[in-house]
Amino acid sequence: MARNLVLAVSVVAIVGVAAFWWLTAPLTIAQMQLPPRLSVPAKGLTVFNAAGCSSCHATLGQPDRTKLGGGLAIPSPFGTFHVPNISPDPVDGIGRWSEADFVTAVIEGTSPAGAHYYPAFPYGSYQHARLDDIRDLFAYLKTLPAVSGRAPGHELPFPFNIRRAVGIWKLLFLDGKPFTPDPGRSSQWNRGAYLVNSLGHCAECHSPRNGLGGIVEAQRFAGGPNPEGEGWVPNITQKGLKDWSEEDLAYFLETGTTPNNDSAGGSMARVIRNTSQLSAADRAAMAAYLKSLPAVDGPPRPPRPPRKNG
């Protein structure tokens, strides 16, 4: 009897582990899945700016946006992430990566070694990117200077340090669908929708997250507490931006200046450094799309500034 019980428990455990392993297998994209194509680094520059790569990956403490040595620490409710080097350095960066390695990393959130990246790397948005855009981006990154040096490892307490478990997170919160244009909308709106939802990854900060760190889809773009710690991320649906015109939004993305004569702060200052480099047409497209978002109530804002404890 006892032997049977041990046997039953063992079988359940083995099936459970096997199921976990199977469910959490990192997805990859093979080179043979990428049709032959000549990538265009100049187009990759636009992708680089739209995707805000340098916001996190630029070498810390220097102004050159093209030195991608990483090192930024990103605090979160799950621990602190340290941004890796994505410069073409063969040892510390992505110099030895194949194109398929890179596409897999950005679209699937899987490293060349076959491990999950943590979703602090916003592949939840990048998964919607066009393959050709990511291939052009890779070609552009290859033209940038190699920077040596590695960031320290992430500081994550148990159980968040189990990378394999990110596979479950991906099952819960990723749909793996590329962006599909809405034929009922203008090409400008569709360009904006693509930039905002995919490369621009605006929803990653401008949406509240649930206890597992997944975006609350019903409140997408409705703002919430800053996941990086202090402060509040604004609602960018028409609930928060109804007084902003499209031109106001485009000017904000260019300069960081708001229509009520104020300025962007926090991580948005880094975002503006990227969007200011985009074409006026791309900024106008993002503005047109954002202006079309229906008003959605976000989490309740703090009623008034709380006392600080220095």
| 230 is an interface residue for other proteins by CB under 8 A | yes
Q: Which is nearer to other proteins, 128 or 206 (CB)?
A: 206
Stretch touching other proteins by CB under 8 A, among 41-49, 205-213, 250-258, 280-288: 250-258
Q: Which of residues 149-208 bind other proteins (CB under 8 A)?
A: none
Query: Sign of the CA dihedral 17, 18, 24, 28?
Result: positive
Binder to other proteins among 35, 211, 294, 305 (CB under 8 A)?
305
Binder to other proteins among 234, 236, 246, 286 (CB under 8 A)?
234
DSSP string, 45-84: HHHHHHHTHHHHHSPTTS--TT------EEEETTEEEEPP
201 CB neighbour count, 10 Å cutoff: 24
DSSP string, 21-33: HHHTPPP---GGG
Stretch touching other proteins by CB under 8 A, among 45-53, 123-131, 253-261, 281-289: 253-261
Q: Which is nearer to other proteins, 82 or 273 (CB)?
A: 273
| 267 is an interface residue for other proteins by CB under 8 A | yes
Binder to other proteins among 34, 131, 270, 277 (CB under 8 A)?
270
* Residue type for position 88: P
Question: Taking the mean position of all CA atoms in its chain, how far away is CA 215?
Answer: 12
Distance CA 219, CA 207 (A): 6
Distance CA 149, CA 77 (A): 27
Distance CA 249, CA 133 (A): 25
Stretch touching other proteins by CB under 8 A, among 64-72, 158-166, 186-194, 269-277: 269-277
Binder to other proteins among 23, 255, 280, 281 (CB under 8 A)?
255
| 280 is an interface residue for other proteins by CB under 8 A | no
Binder to other proteins among 23, 263, 279, 297 (CB under 8 A)?
263
Tell me whether strands 224-225 and 79-82 are parallel, antiparallel or unpaired: unpaired
Binder to other proteins among 256, 275, 288, 290 (CB under 8 A)?
256
Stretch touching other proteins by CB under 8 A, among 6-14, 179-187, 203-211, 271-279: 271-279
Structural contact between residues 300 and 222, judged by C-beta atoms closer than 8 angstroms: no
With the CA atoms of 136, 176, 173 and 278 taken in that order, what torsion angle do they form, in degrees rounded to the nearest 10?
Answer: 30
Tokens 């904006």 locate to 192
Stretch touching other proteins by CB under 8 A, among 116-124, 171-179, 191-199, 223-231: 223-231
| 266 is an interface residue for other proteins by CB under 8 A | yes
| 66 is an interface residue for other proteins by CB under 8 A | no
Residue 134 C-beta: closest distance to other proteins, Å: 27
| Closest of 264, 140, 276 to residue 205, by C-alpha | 264
Q: Which is nearer to other proteins, 10 or 263 (CB)?
A: 263
Distance CA 204, CA 43 (A): 24
| 72 is an interface residue for other proteins by CB under 8 A | no
* Residue type for position 261: N
Residue 268 C-beta: closest distance to other proteins, Å: 8
Structural contact between residues 23 and 167, judged by C-beta atoms closer than 8 angstroms: yes
Binder to other proteins among 12, 23, 269, 280 (CB under 8 A)?
269
Distance CA 309, CA 169 (A): 35
Binding footprint of other proteins on the chain (CB under 8 A):
226, 230-234, 251, 255-257, 261-267, 269-270, 272-273, 276, 301-310
